[in-house]
Amino acid sequence: MPQWLITLSWVCLALGLATAAVLAADIVRHRQKMKIMNIVWPVTGLYFPLIGWWFYKAAGRPMAIDAPKSAGPKPRWKSIFLSATHCASGCVIGDLIGAPIVFATGWALFGQRLFSEYLVEFALAYLFGIAFQYFPIRAMRRVSPYDAIKDAVKADTLSLTAFEVGMFAWMALIYFVLLASYRPDSPTPVFWFMMQVGMVLGFLTAYPANWLLIKWGVKSGM
């Protein structure tokens, strides 16, 4: 494994953790109006090192309970961006939990560990993604648990699938082409850095999906 890649991986992972920590510390003092966003923003910082803080200042801090009231409507890009971060955070948590499970069990689907990661990570990402939609729906609207789950599935299935498509495509490129000779047998810093890059790409594929869902009226902009 090239030393420069190992060093870059450590730096980017450390910056991601630092960004998440700074965001979490700021949110303790400036709680979000939508409670789930208190989790979403630190998670966003994990895969958007440094720039995650700028995103938060531009789109997150104005949504704090103690933020001054906005003089006008929220820009459309911010509404779509927040919806994408909301969906992506559930996916990221699922991916962070799923990958170590696959490594620990040594399970290989069709002879490939990557395919096992896809299955486990997508299942967990789906559960967390739907949960991230379900609880805000229940908090904001007087609907039954069944209706809340139904609405959460309708609002987030396309979005979280789009996220995982972007990330999984990147991981396939890494696994089979770019780093095919360095396949790790444990979650190394380089592995997590590649996941970090994949999460950014997943966010980019989830953004247009959220734009469409909001345009179609399936999902409300945040």
Q: What pLDDT is attached to residue 24? A: 97
Q: How far is CA 53 from CA 22, 50, 156, in A?
A: 8, 6, 25
Domain count, the chain: 1
Percent of the chain with pLDDT over 90: 60
Rounded-to-integer distance, Cα 99 and Cα 49, Å: 21
In a domain, 45, yes or no: no
* 94 part of a folded domain: yes
Instruction: Look at residue 5 and tell me if it is in a domain.
Output: no
Is residue 68 in some structural domain? no
Judge whether 92 lies within some domain: yes
Average pLDDT, the chain: 90
Q: Is residue 7 part of a domain?
A: no
| Look-up of token digits 């909301």 | 86
How many CB atoms lie under 10 A from the CB of residue 136?
A: 20
How confident is the model over 66-109, as pLDDT tens digits?
Answer: 988 875 667 788 888 998 998 899 999 999 999 999 999 989 89
pLDDT tens digit sequence for 144-179: 888 888 888 888 889 999 999 999 999 999 999 988
Owning domain of residue 185: 75-215
Q: Does residue 139 fall inside a structural domain?
A: yes
